[in-house]
Amino acid sequence: MRPEWWPGQEHEAFTEWAISNGIDTKSVTPARFQGRGLGMMATRNIKKGETVLKVPTRLMLRVEKIPSTFIDRLPGDIAVHALLAAYLTHGAPDELSRYDLWRKSWPSRKDFEDSMPILWPTALGGPQLPSSEDDAPIDSEQPSLLPPSLSGLWNSIQPGTKTKKYSADYQNIILQQAQRLRKAWTDVISAFPDTDWATFSYNWLIVNTRSFYWVSEGQETPEDPNDAMGLVPFADYFNHADVARDVKFDGNTYEFRATKDYEEGEEVFMNYGSHPNDTLLAEYGFFLDVNEADSIYLDDIVFRDIRSADQHEELWLNQYYGNYQVTLHGPCYRTEVAACLSYMKEEDWRNHVLEGQSQGLDESRSEATIKRWILTYAAEADATITALQKAMELDTTVQAHRSKADMLLRRWRQIKDICEHAAKNVSV
């Protein structure tokens, strides 16, 4: 009898291909793990610091592997992500055939439809995408069920106005992701007008969820860090956990080392980056029960209180504009600095921030302000949990997508928990 973790024939075939092509996989093997699809299982006891996987970089799928005749057909400013997806969709079959066994090891489009909010119906907060089947217009009266870090939308408050553009990697995540996918789609159909949406968006999500940081030897990190990516066969079986990361590559090999001890039979994890759960949900279609990197952002709430042009200018000039983060342990320093500005004279605030002076500073007022901000987020969690539960009872589309709604409910409860813990931990 096969063990419960047996990955399946296609994964055994791919493992044989991997070994015969020089992938050193003596310490790990693909296996099934409840709730995580495939992952890597230790085939022996592994000590922290030991190499668990080595992949020759010649086997990678990266931009340098794509013939220039193919690249030249596409717009010059196409993102690497889009280019890789376009190649997987339209590359010459005889070139792509070398990846056949690898591609058979990947999840299905249905797996992505179940887990990735970008493909969810609009009733659950999914964005409108080109050629998507769910073309129901977004009803502005309908509650927004995704967390604000994904959607930028709120049910219980009117968000404050931001007058400056700033980079917020962990906010408006789905909006930014959908924008990247729409641009990728425009680029690919400009060269291949008959592209099938389902196939291209699938390949785009494969690259989104399975690529690794990659810059070729001697090349500088590209201007957009998202362009430093490539696909590493076999290594893309690693699931994510909140463990340390020990990965390195050179022109010859991509190497993964254990950052803790593992016993034979245990799952060996990799760290995809210190991402909050909202980012993991949007970019990878899952989130962790316990995540030290989890956080929420108060920007939309803070800018309801900090409204004057002068206050915005002060924050901007002193590089404290936006990204007001709260973790289970409490608010970040940027949030404290913003809280003081909500009641201090601007000159006192500047002297405080730049020189540590305390004129005009009232710590208990700062604490009360931050607590109020956090409790505003908690109230949003309550309002959305109620709306979600109602939608699960009454909305037939939401009912048809029960497991997605359950996932959102779980996430909103985590958010409420962060707010409650953080509010207790506010001390400036």
Ligand X SMILES: C[S@@+](CC[C@H](N)C(=O)[O-])C[C@H]1O[C@@H](n2cnc3c(N)ncnc32)[C@H](O)[C@@H]1O
Exactly one of 83, 85, 86, 241 binds ligand X (CB under 6 A); that residue is 241
Q: Among 350, 360, 344, which residue's Cα sits nearest to residue 314?
A: 350
Beta strands in 192-283 (DSSP E): 211-213, 229-231, 247-249, 253-257, 267-268
137 in the Ramachandran plot: left (φ > 0), alpha (ψ -120 to 50) or beta? Answer: beta
75 binds ligand X (CB under 6 A): no
- Contact window for ligand X (CB under 6 A) among 46-54, 226-234, 281-289, 381-389: 281-289
28 binds ligand X (CB under 6 A): no
Q: Are 297 and 149 in contact (CB under 8 A)?
A: yes
Rounded to whole angstroms, how far apart are CA atoms 153 and 383? 13
Exactly one of 26, 36, 110, 390 binds ligand X (CB under 6 A); that residue is 36
37 binds ligand X (CB under 6 A): yes
Nearer to ligand X, 37 or 75 (CB): 37
- Kindly state the smallest distance separating residue 12's Cβ from ligand X, in Å: 15
φ, ψ of residue 309 to 5 degrees: the values are -60, -35
- Contact window for ligand X (CB under 6 A) among 33-41, 161-169, 325-333, 348-356: 33-41
Count of residues near ligand X by CB under 6 A: 18
245 binds ligand X (CB under 6 A): no
Structure tokens at 82: 């889009």
Nearer to ligand X, 284 or 373 (CB): 284
Q: Among 280, 204, 269, 207, which residue's Cα sits nearest to residue 238?
A: 269
Exactly one of 99, 284, 321, 412 binds ligand X (CB under 6 A); that residue is 284
Rounded to whole angstroms, how far apart are CA atoms 348 and 380? 33
Position of minimal CB gap to ligand X: 37
- Contact window for ligand X (CB under 6 A) among 118-126, 230-238, 332-340, 349-357: 230-238
Interface of this chain with ligand X, residues 314 to 353, rule: CB under 6 A = none
Exactly one of 56, 75, 107, 143 binds ligand X (CB under 6 A); that residue is 107
How far CA 276 is from CA of 132, 149, 297, in Å, comes to: 28, 10, 10
- How wide is the angle at C-alpha 341 spanned by C-alphas 417 and 151, nearest 5°? 45
Structure tokens at 347: 């000159």
Nearer to ligand X, 280 or 301 (CB): 280
**Judging by beta carbons within 10 Å of its beta carbon (0-12, 13-18, 19+), is residue 401 exposed, middle or buried?**
buried
φ, ψ of residue 177 to 5 degrees: the values are -65, -45
Nearer to ligand X, 35 or 218 (CB): 35
239 binds ligand X (CB under 6 A): yes
- Tell the residue number behind the tokens 């969709």, with chain if given: 89
Exactly one of 236, 294, 314, 380 binds ligand X (CB under 6 A); that residue is 236
Exactly one of 70, 286, 316, 343 binds ligand X (CB under 6 A); that residue is 286
- Which positions lie near ligand X, rule CB under 6 A? 35-39, 107, 115, 209-210, 236-241, 284-286
